[in-house]
Amino acid sequence: WPIPVGGSGAIVSALVDDLIAHGGEVVTDAAVDDLAALPPARAVLLDVTPRALVRLAGDRLPRRYRRALRGFRYGNAAAKVDFALAGPVPWADPAVARAGTVHLGGTREEIAAGERDVARGRHPSSPYVLVSQPSTLDGSRAPDGRHVLWTYTHVPAGSTLDPTEAVTRQLERFAPGFRDLVLASSSRSAEQMQAENANYIGGDIASGAPSLAQLVRRPVLSPDPWRTPLAGVYLASASTPPGPGVHG
């Protein structure tokens, strides 16, 4: 995926600066439990899941629309491990060092078996791991000579398992000596992912299963799926087309 220089926070800062320059205001640490708590506005853009929209709007939404939102499916989860490294990852194939994103899974059969385990509610012994190497492309991410590495692995929804050891084993498999470079690591289980971001239902970082049906019906089948039945209220999250976007 793209690597924003300075991190995805730089994109947020640029958007906030532009908003303030046009007279806008950013309010944080203010829980909203009902749409009625929001000030009057020509347009309200909700960066929430369909489940949260039902909770915020309640009976103000038509019954058929509420039923469609409640039928929106959430997918399997992701667990995350971040690493601080004493040096670059010692990939067995040096060409991998030039990639911003690396997919670790082994053979096609191994990947299929691991994903099948997750779909059946089990934790695979050799998980598929998505790796991001931001400091190979953006030197501002780590001190000179040091590197950071982000990893995600698929786990069953709601998993409480710490993925650190399973992810480290996969990295060591494709980059012998990786374990010796680890200065520190920080992990988040699927359950913790949702605790940090309510849009990650069960740890689903796509905020809705990206199945073929739900790429079209996201969250409802409509030529304008962002528009809700409430005047001026729009759903503007990864639960709508084209799905999840900015990352990293």
Per-residue pLDDT at 10 exceeds 70: yes
Per-residue pLDDT at 7 exceeds 90: no
Q: Rounded distance, CA 125 to CA 216, Å?
A: 34
Q: What residue spans define the domains of the chain?
A: 8-73+199-235, 77-195
pLDDT, one tens digit per residue, over 68-102 is 999 999 999 999 999 999 999 999 999 999 999 99
Contact 80, 188 (CB under 8 A): yes
Do β-strands 129-132 and 77-85 pair in parallel, antiparallel, or remain unpaired?
Answer: unpaired
Give residue 185's pLDDT.
98
Average pLDDT over residues 100-117: 94
Do β-strands 129-132 and 147-155 pair in parallel, antiparallel, or remain unpaired?
Answer: antiparallel
Give residue 231's pLDDT.
96
Residues with Cβ within 8 Å of 164's Cβ and at least 6 positions away in sequence, in order, are 81, 185, 187
Q: Rounded distance, CA 64 to CA 99, Å?
A: 46
Per-residue pLDDT at 247 exceeds 60: no
Q: Rounded distance, CA 133 to CA 128, Å?
A: 16
Helix locations, 71-175, DSSP H: 108-119, 134-137, 164-174
Q: Rounded distance, CA 178 to CA 171, Å?
A: 7
pLDDT, one tens digit per residue, over 147-192 is 999 999 999 999 999 999 999 999 999 999 999 999 999 999 999 9
Give residue 137's pLDDT.
86
Q: Collapsing DSSP states into helix, strand and coil, what is residue 58? A: helix
Band (pLDDT 50/70/90 cuts) for residue 117 is very high
pTM (2 decimals)? Answer: 0.88
Do β-strands 233-235 and 44-46 pair in parallel, antiparallel, or remain unpaired?
Answer: parallel
Closest by CA position to 185, among listed 207, 167, 158: 167
pLDDT, one tens digit per residue, over 34-73 is 999 999 999 999 999 999 999 999 999 999 999 999 999 9
Average pLDDT of every residue of the chain:
94
Select the more confidently predicted residue: 74 or 9: 74
Residues with Cβ within 8 Å of 240's Cβ and at least 6 positions away in sequence, in order, are 218, 219, 225, 226
Give residue 99's pLDDT.
92
